[in-house]
Amino acid sequence: MSDDAVYKVTSLQRALILVFVALSTILYASSILIVSALLPQMQGTLGATQDEVSWAMTFNIVATAVVTPMTGWISERFGRRNTMVWACSVFAASTFLCGTATTLEELILWRIIQGISGAPLIPLGHTLLLDSSPRSQHGKVLAIYGMANVVGPVIGPTIGGQISELYGWHWAFWMMVPIAIITAIGFRFILPVRPNRESPSLDWSGFLTLSIAVAGAQLVFSRGQRLDWFQSQEIIVATLLACIAFYMFVVHSLTTERPFVRLALFKDRNYALGMLLVFFYGMLNFAPVVLLPQLLQNHANYTDAAIGAFIGWRGVGAALGAAFAMLTGRIDARIMMMLGFGMQVYGGWGMMQYDLNVSPSLLAFNTILQGIGIGIAWIPITVVTFATLAPEARGEGMGMFHLLRNFGSSIFISVAVAEIVRTSSANYSRMIETVSPFNSVWHMPWSTGAWSIESNAGMAKVAGEIGRQSAMLGYMNAFTMYTLVAVVAIPLCLLARMPQSDAR
């Protein structure tokens, strides 16, 4: 077997690099998904509304999305080993400080820093695996890495939910700190040092305009519903800034000699298609683990431990899906992608059947099925995206790849939460109009059952039930949006072009 790896390392080093890259990925995935199991508890502790507390997750994702394209420059400027060591170290410190937060503002600040420090871990770790392994082993390495990539969603929410129920949500963050420190030490002694290279220059104009565009778009979708969209000066200004910044980014990237992001990469058909598919993949990846915990605890009376278990089952499904993708590596990647997105369609349709009395068995089935779909789709999307891209363009291409995945996640979460808040308010106003002594139904005991509007306590119970039903309608709309995204992604998979050498 010819060894065409960029790094000439021993088999032991190669295995240890895989171990520590997988460990850093588990940390990052756990840091995102563990919050999904803690959102209801944090909402009560920090005195935040449903859409406000979701910022602890969305701003972490958008911070990662903004910094991710810088990964190539950071790693070239400071070295890949130093980048991974410092990223894990700062991640450990910010994770500890997340656990000490006493206000929502503090938590969001440390979550942003956590997202910034975690940004290089995924794309640079991904690149390290490809560069330390021969091309003939890329499929196997990515499959093993893909399985490790979904261990975080199992460990984080499951153990975090149990710990938060026993000791409080602060300890769910603190449990990750020792692992981050061990990972930093492992990178320090395992990663090889490349020969000194000329320090690259960063295209600050491209970076700043792209960052403003991404942050502005996130601000619009996160706060639009609360501020009544374009009735607010803040939303108008943020929209204008995002549009102008994105226009400047595109023009600048097309006209400068060394742009922050080479748009010429998108001339590669597979790469351009992969960017679109990973954007849809990102939209489907984290949305259920943000939406379901608040639905289950606030409206269906599930405990933190049970919620963590449900999210953990999604991770188990993802591990099974990744294992299946590894064992069926000879099947056409387009078929595998369609199978993965098809499972998301079926899982989304299943969520559309939920009600406030949803059973644990139905929840488990749908979350596991969605996880399997996520696990199956990830590996072929990655393989297709980089199948025809030159090795020297991997670092830059990987940064944009993960940026769009994270941006898709943050945008869809914001839109879904906004839809839930909007629909809940509208339906509550509409249904509460029927609660009146002038409505003859309330004078028919065989129709009203145990409900009554004859006392303050009875009115409070009726209002509470209307609030629950209104919220459920909002979640139905969000689950419908989720399903439609998966449906749209399926036919796009057929547009991929597989290289002759990879023909199956």
* 367 vs 343: CA distance, rounded Å: 11
**Which tens digits make up the pLDDT trace of 376-424?**
888 888 888 887 777 677 767 777 887 788 788 878 888 888 888 888 8
* 272 vs 492: CA distance, rounded Å: 11
Among 233, 259, 285, residue at a domain's last position: 259
**Domain-embedded: residue 244:** yes
CATH code: domain of residue 97: 1.20.1250.20
Say if residue 113 is in the same domain as residue 250.
no
Amino acid at 351: M
Q: What is the pLDDT of residue 33?
A: 67
Q: Among candidates 121, 140, 123, 129, which has minimal Cα distance to 31?
A: 121
Q: Among candidates 386, 378, 400, which has minimal Cα distance to 67?
A: 400
**Helix, strand or coil, per DSSP, at residue 272:** helix
Say if residue 237 is in the same domain as residue 286.
no
Say if residue 383 is in the same domain as residue 290.
yes
Return the axis-axis angle of helices 304-327 and 333-351, rounded to nearest 10°: 160
Q: What is the pLDDT of residue 195?
A: 59
Say if residue 44 is in the same domain as residue 77.
yes
| 62 contacts 410 by C-beta, under 8 angstroms | yes
Provide the domain limits for residue 136: 11-193+260-431+464-502
Q: What is the pLDDT of residue 281?
A: 92
Q: What is the pLDDT of residue 91?
A: 93
HSE, CB side, 13 Å, CA atoms: give it for residue 326: 18
Strand extents, DSSP E, 136-187:
none
Say if residue 239 is in the same domain as residue 291.
no
Say if residue 267 is in the same domain as residue 406.
yes
Look up tokens 């958008």; give the residue: 62
Say if residue 227 is in the same domain as residue 351.
no
Low-confidence ranges of the chain (pLDDT < 50): 1-2, 501-504
| 429 contacts 470 by C-beta, under 8 angstroms | no
Q: Among candidates 35, 37, 48, 50, which has minimal Cα distance to 423?
A: 50
Say if residue 150 is in the same domain as residue 226.
no
Say if residue 231 is in the same domain as residue 293.
no
| 84 contacts 66 by C-beta, under 8 angstroms | no
**Domain-embedded: residue 480:** yes
Say if residue 159 is in the same domain as residue 210.
no
* 297 vs 41: CA distance, rounded Å: 9
- Spacing of C-alpha 262 from chain mean position: 25
**Domain-embedded: residue 361:** yes
Among 215, 243, 259, residue at a domain's last position: 259
Q: What is the pLDDT of residue 503?
A: 41
**Domain-embedded: residue 441:** no
Q: What is the pLDDT of residue 113?
A: 92
**Domain-embedded: residue 437:** no
**Domain-embedded: residue 3:** no
Q: What is the pLDDT of residue 448?
A: 65
**Which tens digits make up the pLDDT trace of 33-86?**
677 667 667 777 777 666 666 677 777 877 877 787 787 778 878 888 889 899
Q: How many independent structural domains does the chain possess?
A: 2
* 158 vs 319: CA distance, rounded Å: 15
Among 259, 283, 307, residue at a domain's last position: 259
The rounded percent of the chain whose pLDDT value lies above 70 is: 83
Say if residue 366 is in the same domain as residue 489.
yes
Q: What is the pLDDT of residue 483?
A: 93
Q: What is the pLDDT of residue 77?
A: 81
Largest CA distance in the chain: 85
Say if residue 250 is in the same domain as residue 377.
no
pTM: 0.76
**Domain-embedded: residue 452:** no
Q: Among candidates 107, 97, 100, 71, which has minimal Cα distance to 86?
A: 71
**Domain-embedded: residue 115:** yes
